[in-house]
Every structure is written in C-alpha cells, then in structure tokens.
Amino acid sequence: MFSDCLERKLFPEFERKYTNMKTKDAAYLFHQGTYNQAYEFFGSHFEDDGDVVFRLWAPHAQKVAVVGDFNGWDPDANPMKRLDDLGGIWEVSISGLKQGDLYKYAITQKDGAVAFKSDPYAFYSEKRPATASVIWDLSGFKWTDEAWQKKERKTAEASEPYPMNIYEMHLGSWRTHEDGTFLTYDELADVLPQYLNDMGYTHVEFMPVMEHPFDGSWGYQLTGFFSATSRYGTPQGLMKLIDALHAAGIHVILDWVPGHFCKDAHGLYMLDGTNTYEAAEHPQWGTMEFDYGKPEVVTFLLSNAYFWMDQYHADGLRIDGVASMLYLNYGYDDEWRKNEFGGNDDLKAVAFLRKLNTVIFQNFPYAIMAAEESTAYPMVSWPVDAGGLGFNYKWEMGWMHDTLSYMMTDPYVRSQFQNKLTFSMSYAFSESYILPLSHDEVVHGKKSLIDKMFGEYDMKFDQYRLLLAFMFTHPGKKLTFMGSEFAPFIEWNEAKQLEWFMAEEYDNHRQMKDYVRTLNRLYQKEKALWQIDDSWDGFKWIDPDNASQSVVTFRRIGKKPGDELICIMNFVPTGHESYIVGVPEDRTYRLVLNTDEEGFGGSGAPVKKTAKAKKSSWNGLDYSITISIPPMSALIYKAGKLNPPPKKKTAASKADSTATAETAKKGKKTSRRTSKNAKSETAETTAVKAAETSKVPKTSKIPAASKIPATSKVPETSKVPETSKVPETSEVPTKSKASEK
C-alpha cells in the first residue's frame, strides 16, 4: 500500500496529507492492516484549536467514555461517539485539557460490565503501580542526529559491512542511585555514551523500555506498547538518551515483544469484553498471544514497530520470542496442531513477520531486525522475496549452548567433545548470525558466565578470557550482557545494580575489564574479524581436529589481500612448546592478542611477539610458524608484509666468491708457515742468550714443554623432541546453497 512507500524526507507534502488524512481513509487503512502510522490517528492528540481528540477501536463495546482527573473519573461526563460504518472506532474531542492529565477509557463491554482500560496507543503512562494513561505531546524535542541518520542510510545503500559489538542492558539495574532508585533517562544520557565508547562497544540493546506493570518481567510483558516507561522519566528523556548515544557513535537497538501481552486488567486483555487483540492464552507463560489473523491487530503491531524507529530514532529492533510465534505447537505437550497444509507453522504469524520486515526495510533501510529464534526454522534472515522471513540477523543459540557446555566441561576430558567447538561452523553461513551471551544465560540458577567456567577461582578467569576470544574470532556479530565485562560471580538481579565495586577493589575483575576493553577495540580495528562474516571467504580452518591436545587453529580473512589473522586456541591447562601452525604465505606474523598476559590476569608465560614463516608445509598449507602456547589461552597473530625472497647468486658472483675463498685459503697456509718459523727462531735465540748469560749445569736438561691438555670433547647437540603429530586437517564442509545468498 502507499503507506509502505512513504518517504518522509523526500515527500514532505505527502507526509502532511498522510498524517492528517480524513477519518474514513485512516479507518480504511486500519482495517486493511496497512496503516503503518496508526499512532497518529488513534490515542490522544492535541488539535490545532487546543482541544484533545481521543480515538479507540473497540468493536464490541456498548458504550465508551473518557474518564480522568479532569472530570472526576465520571463515565457520564465525556462519552465517546461510535463513528458510523467505521468498524467500531470511537471518538470524542474535549476542551480544557493539558499535558500530563491522567485518563482511561470506561468501556461498557459486550456483556454489560464496565472496564476501565488504559489507552492502547497512549504515548505515556502513569508511574507504576498506578495504571492510568497520560496525555502527552511527543513533539518539541530537538534532535541533533541528522548527520547520523544520513550516514546510516548511505552505509545501507552501499551495503558496507561494519563491526557489531552489542552491549545488552537493563536500564533499571545497570547503575542506581545510592538509595537504590533508578537513574533517569537524562542521567543515563550523561554517563552511558562515554562508558560504551571507552569500553569499545559499537551498539547498545535496551531490554524493553515500553510500559510494563511488573519489574520482574524485565519488560517482556507489556501494557503500554507506545509508552516509554515512566520508571526512568519522560518520553523526551528517552529521546535525549538515544540522541546522546548517536552523538557518541553508538547504535541503539530496542527489544520488542510482538508475540504476547500480559493479562493485567487495565491492558489489552479482553478490551471490549471479547478477544479484541488476543487469539489464545500462551500455554507456558500465562500471557495472551496476539491474533495475527486480524488486520487491525496487524496494524497495531506494524505501527508500533514503525513508531519506535520513527519517533525515537531507534536503529533497530530485536524481536523477542520468535519461535513461540512461528509454531502452532510451541509450548504444547498434547495433541498435534497443524495448519491447512498439514505442517505446524503458524501461517498467520509467518505472514505478519514477513510484512513487518518488508515495511521496516522499505522505510528504514539501515534497520537492524534481529530475531530471537531458538530453533532450526529455515531462512529466518533471508529476504522475503527469496522465501525467507525477512530479518537481517538471527540469534545463534546453538553456538551459545554448545560453547558454554564445552567450557563447563572438565578440561581433562574435553578431547571427547571437540565437536562442540567446531560444529557451529557446519551451518555458520546458512543465516546471518549474532552470537549471544545474553541476560537469559545469567539468571534463574544458571550461574553467572564466570561461574559457569570449570575449575577453581583463577582458572575460571583464564577460561573466561579464552571464551571471549573464541567468541570474538568466530564468524558472526557479538552480543554480551552488561556486567560481563568485569565478570561478576553472582547472577543478574533486576532489583539491584551491578557489582561495580568488584572491578574497583579486586585485581582479577579489574584486569578482566581491561582485557574486554582491549578485545573490543581489537575487534573494531581488525577488519578481518567482521568484514566477511557470511561466507567461507572470511574464515578458514587450519586445524579443527586436534582433539588430543584440545587446540583449534583457524584463519580470519579480510577483503584486502594479506589482511589476515591466525587464531590459536588452547582449551586445556597444559602449555605447548614448539607448536607448529600452518600458515598460507611467507610472512612475518605479529602477536596482537595474548589472553595470558599478566596485565589481563594471566601467567605471563613467554610467547613469541613475532613469528617468521618457514618454507615447511603443515596443516595442508605451504608454510608454517613455530610458537609456544600458554595453558588455557588464545593467541592471535596478524599477518605482516610478504617476506622478501632470498637473493639468487649470479655466475659472476659465484666465480668471485670462489676466487676469494681460494685466496683466503692460500693466505691462511702462508700465515701458518710464517708464524711457525717465527716461533722457532724466537725460541732458538732465547735459548742461546740464556746459555751465554747464565751457568747451566751440563748435566741438566731443558725441561720438555708441558703438555697442553687436549680440547675437551663438546657434547653432541641435545636432541630436540619431535613435534607431536598433529592430526591432518579435516575436510572443510562444502558451501551450502544457503551460504551462497
């Protein structure tokens, strides 16, 4: 529809027409499921004459009225009118209202009961535990990120790759005031951008900032889909925070929950006494699933996604719980649920997700649309016109589970589980992946990341540094949860701020934070780690099969010839001396990261800073380097310039060399004879002079020269132990059709 083609900056006159369209036109698009900015029609809005107009969709309501502190919450004071032939849309204009006034809808439901509901399209909500909506005008904030948005569009149009290192965070528990109260959006704007920049992150992902009644839901059970939660301040405060992050070069991703909503009485649940927005109750979560078969519900959700990109300048959305949307049987243990074709895909949800991504990318081509999809559902991050769901990223849950399982295993038996490190590469390019170490992995008794690591205290830190190095060199974008940068031992608790004192008072935690900062900056600097994340052109195994020593080696490759990193990972607490690693070319390789450095909390074992390649094939490559690998560590070497070839001797230079050698040989013989004669003459002259000047008894004999002891025998060079035999490189999986996209 024409709303999909709306380009605000190119067609401002079209925007005005669209924004202020006639009621019948808006209603038509709404009921077609194609009104992408329905928030400009529904909800409460100031009109030019100062009145506030309210509009609500409640098709089965008998009566609806606006109630609030301005009319004593009287359902008879400001009744709404049901607009004729517009499918259950109600409207009323009220004079004398101001910004900040509280209101609700008093809805006489289908069965005659009166329910007081908050506005589904409200821009602001009363601070919990209160539940009223708030009249609020979103205009007036002066954005300063126009250059940022232009740059984002230009990057998207050129399809230029960029590093993505996401810091996932919960605004309420990152930091708090001393009394435990939340930092406001404005206060966060003063400290968060600088922190993320210093630590080397490129993106930040906020857990849901939409209004929700229960802190313990972390924002994943919403009542106010268009309301920036009042816990942390006003809508303009959130705009200020996002604007400040853009000024610091940080992309902002918002968690978004289109799969379900909570059953709180003031929310969407049974809005007009019927299943207005819901299809059924989720079998596991006790929430209500959206009905994707209703065009009005599709409009609500599409508009909501568009709203956060448009009004708050978000750079993308992370869509929560996609797996629960895709499968009819998700969460059910009883009978098989199937669609009209016999499969268990929810075809309505699939159609919605494809439409969602189509609309967003048509209007925001730079958007990040990341699916938290935990199954093997195919083509999640493929374009819609190629048969995919249309996302541009998918969370790589398989890598996360396998890798954490491996790191929790006793190192002395890890040789039996080498495939947990390598299996992810068999499908790494079937989707565009984000590797997540998210909040879900550090709650509900799962332990913190550092505490998951096998072993005693110091060993845990060694392994944790190694885990992060493996993650940051593995293909795929990166996401880590707040606090992971200094490795707290307790699980995340949404009611308390992070244990920042750990990084200030304890060396291991401070050094871990320094290490993560170094790793983050290395990731940004080295294009080989992110330029080619979607094909085998950017990754080559050197040796994935050295299970007996629990070592994996591989190459990360950038677009520029010679831009290459050699990555060596040792997953056991045993070092390896004189370890041979195959390399592709005759270059000198320079160490750019050593997780075992003392400054990071490691042992500081000696490691070569540079390694010159030798013409000795290894691991199927023409050259090799020999290094020492510390216990439980990762080493990353960067390829330097090609070494110059050895100079070849010409015929003339060979003749000159032969003549010079012959002359030197003759000179050496002459010198020896001269020296011998000189010594003989000197001894004879000395003896004559001694006989003349001293009386020597005739019977005495000149003592024979003392015997010079024979040169001590030099022991034979100690035999260098033979390099342990490294298994031959396993066959690299062939490129699947999925990776060719």
Q: Quick: pLDDT tens for 16-30.
A: 333 456 899 999 999
Q: Quick: pLDDT tens for 99-141.
A: 999 999 999 999 999 999 999 999 999 999 999 999 999 998 9
Residue 439 lies in a domain: no
Give the β-pairing of 433-437 and 393-395. parallel
Q: Which of 103, 134, 165 is the last residue of a domain?
A: 134
Give the SS3 label for residue 557: strand
Distance CA 435, CA 678 (A): 83
Distance CA 564, CA 590 (A): 11
Question: Where does the pLDDT of residue 367 fall: very low under 50, low under 70, confident under 90, or very high at 90 and above?
Answer: very high
Residue 434 lies in a domain: no
Residue 260 lies in a domain: no
Contacts 24+ apart (CB under 8 A), 421-424: 421/470, 421/544, 421/552, 421/569, 421/571, 422/541, 422/544, 422/545, 422/552, 423/398, 424/396, 424/398, 424/399, 424/474
Q: Which of 96, 115, 134 is the last residue of a domain?
A: 134
Distance CA 633, CA 602 (A): 9
The overall average pLDDT reported for the chain is 88
pTM over 0.75: yes
Residue 37 lies in a domain: yes
**Residue 179 annotated to the active site:** no
Distance CA 182, CA 204 (A): 19
Residue 69 lies in a domain: yes
With 0-12 / 13-18 / 19 or more C-beta atoms within 10 angstroms meaning exposed / middle / buried, residue 376 is exposed
Distance CA 224, CA 668 (A): 98
The domain of 572 spans: 538-645+724-740
**Domain total in the chain:** 2
Of 320, 396, 462, 596, which one is the catalytic site residue?
320
56, containing H or E segment: strand 52-57
**DSSP conformational letter for 48:** T
**DSSP conformational letter for 682:** H
* Paired tokens of 169: 């965070």
Q: Which of 82, 104, 134 is the last residue of a domain?
A: 134
Share of the chain above pLDDT 90, in %: 82
pLDDT, greater one: 723 or 425: 425
Of 168, 315, 372, 597, which one is the catalytic site residue?
372
Question: Residue 31 sits in a domain of what CATH number?
Answer: 2.60.40.10
- Report the first-to-last Cα separation within the chain, whole angstroms: 28
Which residues on neighbouring strands pair with residue 278, listed in sequence order?
A: 290
**Residue 622 annotated to the active site:** no
Residue range 261-270: average pLDDT?
Answer: 96
Question: Residue 558 sits in a domain of what CATH number?
Answer: 2.60.40.1180
Contact call for residues 234 and 240 (beta carbons, < 8 A): no
CA-nearest of 276, 252, 375 to 325 is 375
Residue 176 lies in a domain: no
Distance CA 87, CA 59 (A): 6
Give the Cα-Cα-Cα angle 40, 43, 48 (nearest 5 degrees). Answer: 60
Residue 419 lies in a domain: no
Q: Quick: pLDDT tens for 542-578.
A: 999 999 999 999 999 999 999 999 999 999 999 999 9
Residue 698: CB atoms within 10 A of its CB come to 6
**Dihedral angle computed from the Cα positions of residues 346, 348, 350 and 356, in that order, rounded to the nearest 10 degrees:** -150
520, containing H or E segment: helix 507-525
Residue 505 lies in a domain: no
The pair phi, psi for residue 518, each rounded to 5°, is -65, -45
Q: Which residues contact 23 (CB under 8 A, 6 or more apart)?
A: 41, 83, 86, 89, 91
Q: Which residue type, as a one-letter code, is found at position 700? A: S
Question: Where does the pLDDT of residue 645 fall: very low under 50, low under 70, confident under 90, or very high at 90 and above?
Answer: confident
